[in-house]
Structure 1
Amino acid sequence: MAAPHDVPSAAQLVAAVRDFLADDVLPAVEGRVRFHTRVAINVLGMVEREIELGPAQAAEHERRLAGLGVADDAELAAAVREGRFDDSALVEALRDAVGAKLEVANPGYLGDG
């Protein structure tokens, strides 16, 4: 937890709201409200994971870009269009980037390997 903030952390607060929606609200609603409650639960899960994983993922993404010799995603896209990369290095970097996105968006899509 970063100063000056106390417990609970932002991630813990988001988790508490997500749990409330899942445990108390979802069983009590139906139809359109139930659907939107499920969406809200999923969104809060994504926010929680981004809060927890985001800083390390951002640092790793910067290292990946530097390893490819580009400063940012726009420069990476331009370099890909120009065909400036060895295929294996590019594929590995992109696979890692997509994996990080899935860790936040929906870790279930990552499977077991």
Structure 2
Amino acid sequence: MITHPRTEELVEAVARWIDTVRPELKPRDAFLARVAVNVLGVVQRELTLGPAAEAEAVARMSGLLGHTGSYEDLTAELCARLQAGEMDAETPGLLAALRANAQDQVAIDQPNYSSAR
């Protein structure tokens, strides 16, 4: 059987390679290489943490809205209900769900953000 690296392993390999050549680059290119490494880190975390974060968000939103659906559809409906004033800070479970969704997203986008710890 042929085995191949997983997507997240490929992303990590590219990021490591960029880090090895970065010291030899001109300052502007070194900066852009660092940005690229950071982007690859976000991609890697999205691949590894994203599916569970999305599934948990769907479960939370389904509980709030009273039905299941896709992440996109539930998010759109939740936003519409918030904009219409049908749900607000007094809605049981809303703030906890929004906080958990935001924390999961920050863990992917900026895991070293001080408030995320």
Report the TM range for the smaller structure's normalisation: 0.7 to 0.9
Alpha carbons of structure 1 residues 59 and 6: separation in structure 2 relative to 1, 3 Å: farther
Comparing 37-46 with 27-36, greater Cα deviation is found at: 27-36
Secondary structure of the residue aligned to 1:94 is: helix
* 2:9 matches 1:12: yes
Query: Structure 1 residues 6 and 37 mapped into 2: Cα distance closer, same or farther (>3 Å)?
Result: same
2:84 to 76, 82, 85: 82
Secondary structure at the counterpart of residue 8 of structure 1: coil
Structure 2, unaligned runs of 5 or more: none
From 101, 104, 107, the equivalent of 1:103 is 107
Deviation at residue 58 of structure 1 after TM alignment? 1.3
Report deviation, 1:85. Answer: 2.6
Alignment identity in percent? 37
Contact residue 46 and residue 108 of structure 2 kept, 8 A: yes
Secondary structure of 2:5's partner? coil
Alpha-carbon contact 1:103-1:110 (below 8 Å) kept = no
* Superposition TM-score, scaled by structure 2 size: 0.82
Structure 1: runs of 5 or more not aligned: none
Aligned CA-pair RMSD: 2.1
CA distance in 1, matches of 2:26, 2:115: 30
**1:11 touches 1:48 (CA, 8 Å); kept in 2?**
yes
Taking the TM superposition and a 5 Å limit, the aligned residue runs for 1:1-113 are: 6-22=3-19, 24-69=20-65, 71=69, 72-85=74-87, 87=89, 89-111=93-115, 113=117
Structure 2: how far apart are the matches of 1:48 and 1:97? 19
Q: Structure 1 length as normaliser, TM-score?
A: 0.84
For residue 6 of structure 1, report the CA deviation from its aligned partner: 3.1
Deviates more, 1:45-54 or 1:24-33: 24-33
Q: Give the number of equivalent residue pairs.
A: 109
CA contact (8 A) 1:99 1:110 kept: no
Measure the CA separation in 2 of the matches of 1:60 and 1:25: 39
